[in-house]
Every structure is written in C-alpha cells, then in structure tokens.
Amino acid sequence: MQGESTKLEWFMSGASSRFDIPVYQRNYNWREANCKQLFDDLVKIIKHNRKTHFFGSIISVLDHYGPEVEFLVIDGQQRLTTISILCVAMYNLLTHYKVFCEEQEYIAKQLWVKFLMDEEVHHRPEIKMRNIKDDQEAYLKLFTNDPQQFIMESRITKNYLYFYNRILEMEIPVDKLYEAITRLEIIKLTLDVDDDPQLVFESLNSTGLALEDADKIRNYVFMGLTRAEQEYFFTNYWNPIQKATNYEVNHLIFSYLKLHYKLDLELGNAYFDFKDYMEGRGITTEAFLKSVSVYAQLYGNILYGTTASEALNASFARLEKLEAWGVRTYFIKLLKLVKDGTFSLETVEQIVLTLEHHILKRTLCDIPPTAMEKSFRIMLKELQGFQGSEEAYLKLFMDGLDKADAMLFPQENVMHHTLEELKLRNAILFEEVLAVPAN
C-alpha cells in the first residue's frame, strides 16, 4: 500500500480523475448532522485562518476488470460524495446568480473542472463521481438545478438542500467557502496489486464507527467479482433485497443466519459468522443471493403487512408499534413454512394473533426485554427442529404459552389485579431470576 498526504483539491482535479464507487459499498448515508459538522469546519477554517484541515483518508484500488484503468474507492466514499454535493450546490448558486462574489465565473469554473466534471475523457465531459445506481440517479438530478426533477427521498438530495440553504445564509462569502475547501487535506492510499482489498476493508472497519454487518457482507460478496458480475448481482439481487426490506438488510441477514447456520448468534458478530457459513459450506454468491431474496420478500411481508391475510397484516402492524422486533425471525420462519406448503395461512394467523396477545400482556406488565428474547429464542428453536404435523405444532405452541403465562402472571384472572400490582410482582420475580447465575 502506498500512501501520501495531499490536498483534496489536487486529488480530485488530477488528470482523468473519476471516483467509481463499487456496488459492494454501502449506499450514501451521511445525515444532516454530518453535513453541519463539515460546513461548520469550513467556516472555522476561514474565521480562524487555518492553513489546512485534515479531511480523513481516501483508499482506492486499481480496477483490473474495466476497459480502462480506473481506481475504485474502497474507503472514503461518504466524504467524497458529500464534498461533491456541496460543490454542486455552490456551482448552481453561482451560475444562477443566487449568491455573488468578485470572481463569480472563475470560482464556478474551478468547481466544475476540479471537483465535478472530467473534461479529458473521450474529448467530452464526464461526471467525476460515479455512485451506486440509486444514489447516482439522485446525484445527476442535482445538476439540472430543477427541484421538480429532484429525488426528494434520497439522502443525497436532502443534504444538497441543506448545503444550498446554508450557503444562502452567507456566514462566509462563497469564494471564501471555496477557499476553505481547497485547504482540506487527505491521506491518499492506493493498494498495490498484491494487497488484499477485503483484508484492508475489514481492518479499516474494525475500530471507530464500524460499518453495519450488512455493509461488510455486501463487500465480501461483491469484491472478488468482475465489474460485469458486480453489476448483474447488484441489479438482480442486492438492490431488490434492500428495497424489499426498507434497507434493513442487517436484520434480514441476521435472521437468515439464525435460520440457516446457528441460532445462538450475536448481532454484532454476524459478519464473521457469515464468513464461516459461506467458506465452510462452499456456497456460491448467486446461490446465497437467490436464497436471501426469498427471505427478503417474507421480511417485507412482515414489515409492510403484505401477506394474503388482513388479520395477519394488522397484527404485524400492531406488533411493530410494540417494538417486538426480536420475534421477527420466528415470523419469517412461519411464513416460509406457509410458502413451502407445510403450514396453512390460517394456522400461522392463529399463532401470530395469540402471540401478539401474549406480548402485549408482557409489555403492560414490564417484563424485561431480555426475558422476552429468551422466550422467542426457545420458540424458534422448537419450530426449527419440529418434524410433526401442523396440528401437533399448534398444540406444542399453545402449551408453551400456557406454561409461560403460569410463571409470568397470577393464576387468577389478570383483571382482578391492578396493573401496578402486576408490574411490581414481575419486577421482583425477574430481579430474582436474573440474579441467579447461569449454569
């Protein structure tokens, strides 16, 4: 790996500089708070006359698969994309005369050629930043300067509008804002041919603000593929998986591994369990993505309430309000059994509605979440290993809830006790239970 300190301006304005974000990278996800911090830092650079400001590291790797020699960004995409969004906002404001400075046209031209557009490629301008598909679509719309065309739900658009409005406040003149950007410094690191991008990626994200396991898993799945393969698998599998789960891929993968690998997983360790699962069983990328796609649809059925049962959909919606997320894996397994023809939708409807009532009682009586998670884990283990009939499992399930009710609630009618009495009883009970050391 070769590294050097350099100005961000020089890095982005190099000959034929294009910044390709591979599909295995996570989507752009900087929030307004991150953008505020960046803008505040730029203001301070000018107000305190700072000569430089460290903007982090940018790590890239030579792309051997593309028709041209290009460098793919494997770390630093969020910062590069954010600076590009800020520069688009500045460029639009300058060229449409919403803000003014002495060197109006010059500053706009510098933003265009140094940060936004590569004019050396095939003798025609080409956008420097090439984000993941949905992000890139939103990014390109910004150049129209037409809010009617903007993709408003995109984080890229939201941050553009934040910068746009913040620049209009003129805390510092726009030419000074540009000057502040030119004072940003980075550490530029380029991987050698013999460097393993995956190991570097894991090392970079082992400390500090870690990526979600789903981001690391996506990196693992896509990094060793050719560019054409990456585009195919992202378009046909990964992006539909993200959309089906409302981008909650982290929780989907966690549930998937619990169902296919082992039940006793920890959410924070899912990436390494995934590696063991893939490498230990020799599973191909396409086989994995095909299988996960099925479970993504089931996850979406729960999340959006899109099963064939209105009662079941309503129950899922109520459970979302109760934040009973720990039971989602169990529900996914139930819906998979329906899909496979093992259980009827009516049986699953009865199970879910009964479980909803049980969870509501637990919630009202302040049963600790740790105790609820343990119950869900036991239920899932029983369902995973069950070999009998649908009717036999339904009886097993009902008997299990009856036993749980006998321990958690008084044998007399619950309505004979005040809510305060039930809460106090369970607080004492679970304080004693949780205090007993595990065998």
Q: Which residue has the higher pLDDT, 15 or 28?
A: 28
Alpha helices per DSSP H over 169-248? 174-182, 197-204, 213-223, 227-233, 239-244
State the CB neighbour count (10 A cutoff) for residue 283.
Answer: 13
Kindly report, residue by residue over 364-402, the tens digit of the pLDDT.
766 766 667 778 888 899 998 888 899 999 999 998 888
Lowest-pLDDT range, 3-7, 272-276, 359-363, 414-418? Answer: 414-418
Query: Which candidate, 124, 102, 99, 127, places its Cα nearest to that of 112?
Result: 127
For residue 424, pLDDT over 50 is answered with yes
Query: In the numeric block, which tokens belong to residue 230?
Result: 């990456």
Kindly report, residue by residue over 178-214, the tens digit of the pLDDT.
999 999 998 887 775 555 555 555 555 443 334 567 7
CA dist., res. 190 & res. 60, Å (int): 5
For residue 331, pLDDT over 90 is answered with yes
Q: Specify the pLDDT at position 439.
A: 42
- In this prediction, residue 22 has a pLDDT band, given cuts at 50, 70 and 90, of confident
Query: Which candidate, 295, 266, 291, places its Cα nearest to that of 278?
Result: 291
Which string of b and e fits 389-408 if b means at least 16 CB within 10 Å? eeeebbeebeeebeebeeeb
Kindly report, residue by residue over 114-155, the tens digit of the pLDDT.
999 876 555 556 788 888 878 999 999 999 999 999 999 999
Report long-range pairs for 434-437 (Cβ below 8 Å, ≥24 apart).
434/368, 434/370, 434/371
Quote the pTM value.
0.62
Q: Specify the pLDDT at position 176.
A: 95
The helix/strand/coil state of 88 is helix
Query: Which candidate, 202, 241, 196, places its Cα nearest to that of 219?
Result: 202
Q: Specify the pLDDT at position 413.
A: 47
Query: Which candidate, 176, 53, 186, 71, places its Cα nearest to that of 128?
Result: 71
The helix/strand/coil state of 103 is coil
Q: Which residue has the higher pLDDT, 62 or 396?
A: 396
Residue position matching structure tokens 């996914």: 332
Which string of b and e fits 120-142 if b means at least 16 CB within 10 Å? eeeeeeebbbbbbebbbebbbbb
Average pLDDT of the chain?
Answer: 82
Quick one: how far is CA 90 from the chain centroid? 29
Query: Which candidate, 289, 359, 350, places its Cα nearest to that of 321?
Result: 359
Quick check: 75 and 204 in contact, CB under 8 A? yes
For residue 436, pLDDT over 50 is answered with no
Kindly report, residue by residue over 278-329, the tens digit of the pLDDT.
888 888 889 999 999 999 999 999 999 999 999 999 999 888 887 777 789 9
For residue 44, pLDDT over 50 is answered with yes
User: Length of the chain in residues, anyone?
Assistant: 439
Q: Specify the pLDDT at position 320.
A: 83
The percentage of residues in the chain with a pLDDT greater than 70, rounded to a whole number, is 79
Mean pLDDT, range 352-360, rounded to an integer: 87
CA dist., res. 338 & res. 189, Å (int): 51
CA dist., res. 86 & res. 103, Å (int): 19
Query: Which of 52-56, 249-253, 331-335, 360-364 has the highest mean predicted lDDT (pLDDT)?
Result: 331-335
CA dist., res. 94 & res. 100, Å (int): 7
CA dist., res. 412 & res. 221, Å (int): 55
For residue 422, pLDDT over 60 is answered with no
